[in-house]
Amino acid sequence: MAYIEFNNISKEYVTGENVIKALDEASFIVEKGELAVILGSSGAGKTTLLQIIGTLDKADSGQILINNRDVTKLSDNKLSEFRNKEIGFVFQFHHLLAEFTALENVMLPALIGKQNNKETEERAKELLNIMHLYDRANHKPSQLSGGEQQRVAVARALINSPSIILADEPSGNLDSRNAKELHEYFFKLRETYKQTFLIVTHSEELAKMSDRMIEMQDGKII
């Protein structure tokens, strides 16, 4: 059953006198529980596509269904509510807060959402344990390696139990060993929590491991 449906989505940006067609009637589906990757050269439209699915940006035309819900018709308030509940984000740069420990960084989105402190702490510890970071819970980002920092960021994306994880070049700043480890964690998390993963990557290794490859060129799905 299709969990994400992207139907004829177009998006243009105007810069001065130039019109850039970031997405050109792009369409694809991702099934519930799949780990899908988006491949394409720089400027192909991958990040724009991810931002629109994540409701961080709006399409000019087309329809997006997530779990049979048309998110293109939601008000800004409903979109914000939907995003906070249903979507977890992982970026190329981890964006951890330097003054907080790994545990506090993971807990932060749930605390902002006014969730129970004790339950949030237990879930954060569970996620750090899965990511093999339990013994690093009280370390600050500066005391962690690049691979460890990114794994904390992944745990943070999962703290609110979103149904979809969107990741934009999550291993882009990691060496090959740490990148391979991170990719393996994505599959482990998918098996544990049954979430749907959509990952923008240049990694052919991750693409080969994935359930579905979505290739992009000049704003189109090819």
Kindly give the confidence (pLDDT) of every residue in the chain, 222 residues in length, as a single tens digit, with 9 standing for 90 and above: 679 999 999 999 888 888 888 999 999 999 999 999 998 887 788 889 998 998 888 899 999 999 888 988 888 888 888 888 889 888 877 788 999 999 999 998 887 777 778 889 999 999 999 889 999 999 999 999 888 998 899 899 989 889 999 998 888 777 888 888 888 888 888 888 889 999 998 888 888 888 999 998 888 898
Confidence at residue 1, expressed as pLDDT on a 0 to 100 scale: 64
What is the dihedral angle through the alpha carbons of 57, 209, 145, 198, rounded to the nearest 10 degrees?
Answer: 10
Query: In whole angstroms, what is the distance from residue 148 CA to residue 134 CA?
Result: 11
Domain ranges across the chain = 34-56+75-211
Query: Can you give the pTM of this predicted structure?
Result: 0.87
Which CATH number, 3.40.50.300, 3.30.1600.10, 3.50.50.60, 3.60.110.10, labels domain 34-56+75-211? 3.40.50.300
